[in-house]
């Protein structure tokens, strides 16, 4: 799984600002990024930065906030990432 991540980050500033800063710092575009999270704040940060969001857990509010996919726990994340990568290539 480590091959899928360049950085795992938690910060006290707003998540949307932290995500935007990381995208620019590393020279990525939003289409090259994927946000995996478990809170509504995570979903909003992804949406504000126009990044695909994968919801971990089954909080109904997150689906309304724009989750591209939902996994019950991180055990299912590899399959979701592989699926999203296939979609991007098509």
Instruction: Of 25, 30, 29, 27, give the one whose Cα is nearest residue 45.
Output: 30
Domain span holding position 39: 2-89
pTM to 2 decimals? 0.72
Counted domains in the chain: 1
Cα(12)–Cα(3) distance, integer angstroms: 26
How many Cβ atoms are within 10 Å of 23's Cβ, its own excluded? 17
Q: Residue 84 has what pLDDT?
A: 84
Residues of the chain with pLDDT under 50: none
Q: Residue 27 has what pLDDT?
A: 94
């Amino acid at each position: 799984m480590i091959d899928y991540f360049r950085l795992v980050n938690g910060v006290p500033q707003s998540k949307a600002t932290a995500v935007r800063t990381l995208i620019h710092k590393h020279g990525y575009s939003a289409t090259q990024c994927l946000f995996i999270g478990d809170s509504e704040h995570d979903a909003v940060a992804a949406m504000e930065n126009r990044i695909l969001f994968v919801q971990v857990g089954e909080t109904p509010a997150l689906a309304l906030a724009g989750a591209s996919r939902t996994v019950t726990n991180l055990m299912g994340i590899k399959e979701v990432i592989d699926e999203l990568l296939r979609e991007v290539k098509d």
